[in-house]
Amino acid sequence: MRFHFQLDGLLRLRRLLEREARERLDESLMRIHALQHSLSEAQHWSDETSQILASKDPLPACELQFADSVLRQTRKAIQQRRRTKEVEEEHAAELRKAYLVARRERKTVSTLRENALRQFKIEQTRREQSALDEMFLGKLIHSRNAAGFVRESEHAKETP
């Protein structure tokens, strides 16, 4: 007899939902990492540009004006990326909660399956043992009957 879990469809669904939740969380975490990397690069560039502007080396007015304009735009972009990163981190927190719920639900159904499988194995072992016991009892009865038949035939030979 084969093991059949009645909630196999539900277990497959829960596994799928857990995997999808994990993938969405991973994607969000990758976006956060990319934003952090972009922020680091922009901040580094902004710091270097600020140092060049603060240096005592004379620069032509047009270069100063261009550098100052780019620096202001970079700082605005940094602020915008920080806000975007905060929003993405909040979204990742929600996705993490959803993933943990999906994981817990999948584990619950998996535990039910494991318990059903364990119970099936116990029942299977009990059935096999019962079959072995019946076979042994059948042989025992057969051997006793055969021994009784031998005694009766010996007894019949002795009494003429």
**CB 85, CB 36: distance < 8 Å:** yes
Pinpoint the alpha helices (H) of the chain: 8-54, 61-158
pTM here is 0.69
Task: Choose between 139 and 83: higher pLDDT.
Answer: 83
Residue 109: other Cβ atoms inside 10 A: 18
> Taken in order 26, 28, 32, 34, is the CA torsion positive or negative?
positive
Tokens representing residue 107 in the block? 């584990």
pLDDT in tens, 79-138: 999 999 999 999 999 999 999 999 999 999 999 999 999 999 999 999 999 999 999 888
Q: What's the mean per-residue pLDDT of the chain? A: 89
Q: Residue 11: is it exposed, middle or buried by C-beta count within 10 angstroms (0-12/13-18/19+)?
A: middle
**Which amino acid would we find at residue 135?**
M
**Which amino acid would we find at residue 121?**
K
pLDDT given for residue 157 in this prediction: 64
**C-alpha distances out from residue 124 to 6, 115, 131, Å:** 17, 14, 11
Mean pLDDT along residues 42-58: 85
Q: How far apart are CA 65 and CA 70, in angstroms?
A: 9
Q: How far apart are CA 110 and CA 135, in angstroms?
A: 37
List the domains of the chain with CATH numbers.
8-158 (1.10.287)
Q: How many Å from the N-terminal Cα to the C-terminal Cα in the chain?
A: 57
Q: How far apart are CA 98 and CA 22, in angstroms?
A: 9
